[in-house]
Amino acid sequence: MTLTSTALLTGGPVVPSRNLLRPLGPDEVRISGGFWADKQQLNATVILDHCETWMERIGWIGNFDRAAAGAVAEHHDGIEFVDSEVYKLLEAMAWELGRRPDAALEERYSALVARVAAAQEPDGYLHTAFGRPGQRPRYSDLEWGHELYCFGHLFQAAVARARSGHPDDVLVRTARRLADHIEREFGEGGRDAICGHPEIEPALVELGRALGEQRYIELARIFVERRGRRTLATTLFQGSDYFLDDVPVRDARVLRGHAVRAAYFTAGAADVAVETGDDGLLAAVKNQWRRTVAHRTYLTGGIGSHHQNEEFGADDELPPDRAYAETCAAIGSVMVSWRLLLQTADPAHADLIERTLLNAVLVSPREDGRAFYYANTLHQRELASETHDDELSERAEANLRAPWFEVSCCPTNVARTLASVGAYFATADDDGVQFHQYADLDVDTALPDGRHVSLAVRTGYPFDGRVVVSVAEASDFTLSLRIPAWSRGRARATLNGEPLPVDGDTLRLRRAFAPGDELVLDLDTSPRFTVAPDAVDAVRGTVAVERGPLVLCLESVDLPDAAAFDRVRIDTGAAPTPTADGASVRLVVEEGQQSESGDGSWPYRRLDAGAPVPFGRPVTADLVPYAHWANRGPSLMRVWIPAAG
Amino acid sequence: MTLTSTALLTGGPVVPSRNLLRPLGPDEVRISGGFWADKQQLNATVILDHCETWMERIGWIGNFDRAAAGAVAEHHDGIEFVDSEVYKLLEAMAWELGRRPDAALEERYSALVARVAAAQEPDGYLHTAFGRPGQRPRYSDLEWGHELYCFGHLFQAAVARARSGHPDDVLVRTARRLADHIEREFGEGGRDAICGHPEIEPALVELGRALGEQRYIELARIFVERRGRRTLATTLFQGSDYFLDDVPVRDARVLRGHAVRAAYFTAGAADVAVETGDDGLLAAVKNQWRRTVAHRTYLTGGIGSHHQNEEFGADDELPPDRAYAETCAAIGSVMVSWRLLLQTADPAHADLIERTLLNAVLVSPREDGRAFYYANTLHQRELASETHDDELSERAEANLRAPWFEVSCCPTNVARTLASVGAYFATADDDGVQFHQYADLDVDTALPDGRHVSLAVRTGYPFDGRVVVSVAEASDFTLSLRIPAWSRGRARATLNGEPLPVDGDTLRLRRAFAPGDELVLDLDTSPRFTVAPDAVDAVRGTVAVERGPLVLCLESVDLPDAAAFDRVRIDTGAAPTPTADGASVRLVVEEGQQSESGDGSWPYRRLDAGAPVPFGRPVTADLVPYAHWANRGPSLMRVWIPAAG
C-alpha cells in the first residue's frame, strides 16, 4: 500500500496509510461473546457511567460549562489536565457507539460534546485551565501545563467518532479548529517548543490520517523531531530524561524516564516514521522497544518500575514489590506493540499485547467495574487499606482499587481501551486474514481484490486453549493464526478433523475454503513454571506460574493459614495442575525463620563457610489470575514465589 | 540520677539529666589518633571550609546579610530551609572548636554568628525566608516551610557552643530569644500546631537541658504530644504518615514515613520521655525502634528504602538497588540509638551505632572530603555519571558523590557528626567507665564520688580487632568494654598477660587498677559471610561479606573483567580471606545468561518441573569497605552478591 491523501474513515484507533497489515474496523470484526464480550459489556454498562458520574460530581465536566460562561477562571475543579479525562471518556463512548449503537448513550455523548465544544474559543484554542484573565497564559507552562496533551486526547476522541460513521460530528469539527490553531502556534515559524507530556504526537498523526490532512502529520513530525534538545526546564527531581527530552529519538537506546510519556511518545514516533517512510526513525523505535521489552518489562507486561517520577528503572531493575507498572503505561505499551505489529507482522508483538492486556491492563478494574488500580504491584507485602466507593483517592498506592483519583488518568484509559479492544484481534492483508488474539469473533471483510472473507471464531480463551474457526462463506484466501510463544512446539491443529502441521509462531493455511470448513487449534494452556533472567536480581530464587496467557498469583486468602504467607516456598518438583481459572501448586511452609527475626533485634546472621545457603510443612494452594487479585478484600499477594530449596 | 534544674554545660550533643549512663564530654574523652582522628582531621581541614565556601558562593549565608539589611524579600537564595545548613555548619564549628581550639576557626565562627544574629527580629523570630513584606507570612506553611526545623538546628548549634565553654555566646543568647518567641507562639494558649519536619523536639529538650530551662523541655513535650492528630495538610503524594502525623507517638508500632523526619522525631520523643520520666512513652519508642531495626534497616545500618518521599518501605522491603538510605537518616538512626543506649545500657544499641557510623554515614563523604552521597545505594547497576566539583547537583542520585546539592542537608550533617563523634565512644556511671566504640582514645574523668579514671585506648580498629587499654592512674573502678555481636564467643582478653574470661556482650572488670595495667581485648575481625532473613526478598540467594564492623562490597573496578560484573556469583564454600582493608573472595563467572537474554526479546523462560532452578569460570576478587566505594571513578557495586549454586 502507498501513502494516500484519502481520509481513512474506517478502522480502529490506529489506521496507518501503509503497513504490512491492515487493522479491521468495528464493522469488520466484532467480539460476539465470551471473556472479552463480558469485559466490553462491563465497560458499556458500568465503567462509562462510573467515569461520567464521577466527573460530573467533582466538577471536571462542569469546568467546560464555566469556561463557556466565562466563569472558569474563578472556579476550576481538579488539576490542570482534567480536560483530558473528559476526552478519554468521549473517546470511549464514541468507540462504544460505533461498536453497538445505543440511543441513550448517543444522547449522553452528544450532550457532553456540546458542553465541550461550547468552551472552544474563537481562534480554536480549547482548554479550561489556561488563557483567560485570571488564569495562567496559554503555553506559559509547557513542562507541566499539559495543554497539548489534553488536545491530543480530544483528537483521539474525534478520530473515534469520525471512524464510527460520523465524520462531520461536532467533536470532529472542534478538533479540526483546534488542530489548525496548534499548527499556527507551533508549526514552522511558530513557537519552537514541545509539550512536557507527549500525546499530541500520535494524536495528530491519527487525526491527519482520519481527516486526510497531511499538515497534521507534518506537525506531529515536527514535535517528534523537536524532542531531545533539553528545551524543557528541569526540576529538582525531574531531569530531561523524565520528559524524554534528554536525547533525540533517533539517538536513544531504550525507553526511559516517565513510562507513560515514553510509551506515548514512542507510539507517535512510530506513526510518524510509518507515514513519512522514515526507515531510520522506525529502526530506532524498534531497537528501543526491543531493549525495553528485554530488560525493562515485568512478567505481566507492565512497564515503569519506579514510584519516584513514575519512571523506568535501570535495565533489569524490576522489583515486584515496588513495581509501579502504571495501568496507563501498560496501555501505552499496547499502543507501541500494535503499531510495530502492523508494521512488521512479527507475532512477538502480538504475544506482548496479549500478555499486557490480560495481565497489566485488566488488573486495573475491579470485577464490578467501579474501582481501579493506578499502580500495579506484583507483590503486596502488607494488607492494603480498604477504600470507600464514594471517596476520592489521593494516592495511587497502598490501598485497594479506588473509585477515582485526584490524578485519574487510568479509569478513562481503561474505558477507551476496552471499548476499542476488538481492533487488536485481527488484521487483513492483500491475501487474507490474520488472527493475533483469540476471542469469540465474527469477521466479515473484503480483501483489496474483492474476495470476501466471512469467519467465526469460538473459544474458551484465555482459560481454555481450544480455538475453533468456522468458515461461513466460500472463498480462496490465507488464514493465519498466531501460535503464542508459550505454546510453540505444543500446539496442535486440525482442519475438518484432519491433522495439520503446526510449527513456528504462525499457523498459516492457504486454500479455497468452503462454507462449514472448521479449523481447530489447540494451544497448550496447562499451567507452567516461569523463571526470570538471573539479571533480574529482585526475583532471584523464585518462580512464577503462568497458564496460557495468564500470569497467576498467590493470594494469602487462598492459604489455609494466611499468617504463613511470608513463609511459603513453592515446590517446583511437581508440575502445577489446572483449576477452573488458575492452578494448584504444592507449597512448603518454612518454620522458624519468623521466630528468629520476629520482632527481635538485628536480623542478619552469620553463615559459616561451607554451610548451605538456607532454604517444613507441605501444603497446596490455588493460584488465581493476577488480573483477578484483590477482588476478595485485602490480601497479601505474590506473582514471584520463592522456590523451595 | 534525678531530674535537676541545673544547666548541663558539659558533655556532647545529648546530656540527659538522668540515665543509666552519663556521656563524656570533649574535656573527658579525646580521640588521639588513628582512623577516627583522620576523619576528624579531614572534617576540620576540608569539610568545614567546603561547606562554608559553598554556602557563601550560592548566597545561603548572604541571605542573613540581606535579611539584616531589609533586602532579603527581594532576593533570597535557595529553598526555604537553607538557614538550617548554616546552623549545622555552626554546630560543627562549635564542636570542632570545643575539641581543639583554633584561632582562625574561632574567628570564622564568630563572624558567621554575628551575621546570623544580625538577622534576628526584635521579637526573637529568625528566619530568612518568611515574615517580611513580600515574603510569605510567618507560620503560614507549617507543612513545608521548615521554620521550626531551622530553629531546631540553631538550637543544636547553640548547645554545642554552650557545652564547649561558651554559655554566654552570641549564638546562645540568640537561641534563647528565639526559644522564648516559640514558647509565646506555640506554647499553652498559643497556636495548636506542629512543624512538618521534626527537629524542634530534640533541639528544645537539649537547649532546655543545656540552659537549665525546663520551659523548653515542656514545649518539646507539647510538640511531641501534638503530633499524630492529622492536623498537617496532606498532598497528592504525601499522606499523614509521611509527616509521622498519622498516629500519636504512643500508639505507633514502627518508624514510618519520611525516614529523617521519623528518626529526628523519635529522638525527640525519647528525650521528652527521659526528662519527664514518662515510662510509657519511652516503652513506645523502644518498641518502635526494635521493630524498625529488625525489619526496616539495611545491613549498613541505613534506613529508608523508598526514593519516593524518602520514606520507609514496608517491613522487610529492603531493595539494595533502590536503597535510598539517606545519609541524614543514618545520622538520625545514630541519634535514636545513642539516646536508647544511654537509657538502657544495652550494647545492641552500640552495635548499631558502630555499624551505622562506619558504613551508612562514612559512605557519604568522598575520601577527599569535597563531595558527598546523599542517597546511598547498596547496589550500583549502571555506571554513575561523573560530577564536577564546581557544579551544584540537582539530584541526590544517579551520579557520583557531588560537592553540593540544591537540598544539601547531608554535607553539614556529616560535618557536625564528625566534629562530635567522640561523644559516642565512652560513658561513665556511678562505678566506672564504659567503652562502646573503639578508637585511639584518652579518657580522663571523675566518678560522682570523686574517684578519678585516667585511661588510654590504642587500636588499629576498625581494620584490626586488637584493643589495648592502659591504665594511667591508680583507681578502683569498673571498666566495661562492649563485645560486638559479630565477635561474641570469638573474643579473647588478657590483663597484664593473664587470660580473662570473656563471654556475653560485655567484658566487665572491677578492681583496683594500678598505673601501667594493660587490658588487651582481641576481637575477631576475620571476614565472614552474612545472610539476610528470608523475608528480605530482594536479596534472596545472595550473601554479603563483613569484616569486623565493616560491610564490604564488590566494585567492578576490582574484577579482572569489569564487563562480567553482572555474571559473578560468590563461592561460599571457601571462607573469605583478609586483605589490607577488606577481603578476598572466590567468585564464579556465569556464562551464557548474557547472550540468552542479551538484547533479545522476551526475557522470561519456561522451567520444566523437576529441573533445577538455574545457577563457569572461577576468579578471585578483592572486596573493599562499603564506605570506601566509588572513590576510584564510576564503578558498578554490590553489597549483596548472588551465591553460586
pLDDT digits (tens, 9 = 90+) for A26-78: 889 999 999 999 999 999 999 999 999 999 999 999 999 999 999 999 999 99
Which of B298, B354, B597, B637 would you mutate first to test chain A, the one with the most A CBs within 10 A?
B597
Cell of A418: 476496552
Asked if B341 is an interface residue toward chain A (Cβ–Cβ < 8 A), one would say: no
Q: What does the radius of gyration of chain B's CA atoms come to, in whole angstroms?
A: 25
B512-521, B543-552, B567-576, B618-627: least confident range: B618-627
Average pLDDT, chain B: 92
Query: Are B575 and A543 within 8 A, CB to CB?
Result: no
Q: What is the DSSP letter of B381?
A: -
CB < 8 Å from B in window 271-300 of A: 290-291, 293-295, 297, 299
CA B503 to chain centre: 29
Taking CB atoms and an 8 Å cutoff, what residues of chain B touch A605? 530-531, 533
Q: How far is B29 from chain A (nearest CA, A)?
A: 29
Return d(Cα A280, Cα A275) in angstroms, integer: 13
Report whether the peptide linkage leading into residue A462 is cis, meaning its omega lies within 30 degrees of zero.
yes
Q: From residue A595, how far is each of A567, A612, B313, B534 by CA, in Å? A: 11, 20, 21, 12
Q: What is the DSSP letter of A386?
A: P
Return d(Cα A51, Cα A61) in angstroms, integer: 11
Asked if A307 is an interface residue toward chain B (Cβ–Cβ < 8 A), one would say: yes
Question: Does residue A159 carry a pLDDT above 90?
Answer: yes
Which helix (DSSP H) or strand (DSSP E) does residue B224 occupy? helix B214-226
3-class SS of residue B470: strand
Return d(Cα B338, Cα B285) in angstroms, integer: 13
Query: Are B306 and A321 within 8 A, CB to CB?
Result: no
Residue A595: exposure state from Cβ atoms within 10 A (0-12, 13-18, ≥19):
exposed
Asked if B406 is an interface residue toward chain A (Cβ–Cβ < 8 A), one would say: yes
Residue with cell 528468629: A596
A625-629, B66-70, B252-256: least confident range: A625-629
Cell of B460: 588499629
Residue B77 pLDDT level (bands cut at 50, 70, 90): very high
The greatest distance separating any two alpha carbons of chain A, rounded to the nearest whole angstrom, comes to 79
Which of A326, A604, A605, A637 would you mutate first to test chain B, the one with the most B CBs within 10 A?
A604
- β-strand partners of A544: A530
pTM of the model: 0.90
Return d(Cα A440, Cα A469) in angstroms, integer: 9
Asked if B593 is an interface residue toward chain A (Cβ–Cβ < 8 A), one would say: yes
Asked if A488 is an interface residue toward chain B (Cβ–Cβ < 8 A), one would say: no
A399-408, A542-551, A606-615: least confident range: A606-615
Return d(Cα B365, Cα B43) in angstroms, integer: 10
Average pLDDT, chain A: 92
pLDDT at res. B596: 36
Question: Does residue A182 carry a pLDDT above 70?
Answer: yes
Taking CB atoms and an 8 Å cutoff, what residues of chain A touch B534? 567, 590, 593, 614, 642
Q: What angle do CA A539, B380, B638 make, to 5 degrees?
A: 70
Q: What is the DSSP letter of A232?
A: S
Q: How far is A564 from chain B (nearest CA, A)?
A: 12
Asked if B489 is an interface residue toward chain A (Cβ–Cβ < 8 A), one would say: no
How many CB pairs below 8 A link A and B? Answer: 225
Residue with cell 490455588: A622
3-class SS of residue A559: coil
Q: What's the helix, strand, coil split of chain A in %, to 5?
A: 35, 20, 45
Taking CB atoms and an 8 Å cutoff, what residues of chain B touch A300? none
B469 near B457, Cβ under 8 Å? yes
Residue A490 pLDDT level (bands cut at 50, 70, 90): very high
Of the candidates A146, A121, A118, A115, the one whose C-alpha atom is nearest the C-alpha of residue A261 is: A146
Which of B543, B566, B604 minimises the CB distance to A531? B604
- φ and ψ at B3, to 5 degrees? -60, 135
Q: Looking at per-residue confidence, does A561 or B327 come out higher? A: B327
Q: From residue A272, how far is each of A6, A226, A231, A275 by CA, in Å? A: 17, 13, 21, 5
Which helix (DSSP H) or strand (DSSP E) does residue B454 occupy? strand B452-459
Per DSSP, helices labelled H in B100-213 are: 103-118, 147-162, 170-186, 200-211
Q: How far is B436 from chain A (nearest CA, A)?
A: 17
B4-37 as b/e, with b when 16 or more CB fall inside 10 Å? Answer: eeebbbbbbbbbbbebbbbbbbbebbbbeebbbb
Residue of B nearest to A572 (CA): B609
Q: What is the average pLDDT across B383-412? A: 84
Q: From residue B228, how far is each of B265, B291, B447 by CA, in Å? A: 11, 19, 41
Q: What is the average pLDDT across B618-634? A: 81
Return d(Cα B152, Cα A497) in angstroms, integer: 83
3-class SS of residue B53: helix
Q: From residue A71, how far is each of A58, A130, A305 by CA, in Å? A: 16, 13, 41
Query: Are B599 and A534 within 8 A, CB to CB?
Result: no
Which of B321, B607, B610 minimises the CB distance to A543? B607
Which of A291, A538, A567 minimises the CB distance to B538? A538
Query: Are B379 and A537 within 8 A, CB to CB?
Result: yes
Residue with cell 497458564: A547
ipTM of the complex: 0.84
Return d(Cα B25, Cα A151) in angstroms, integer: 66
CB < 8 Å from B in window 516-535 of A: 528-535
Of the candidates A342, A179, A324, the one whose C-alpha atom is nearest the C-alpha of residue A267 is: A342
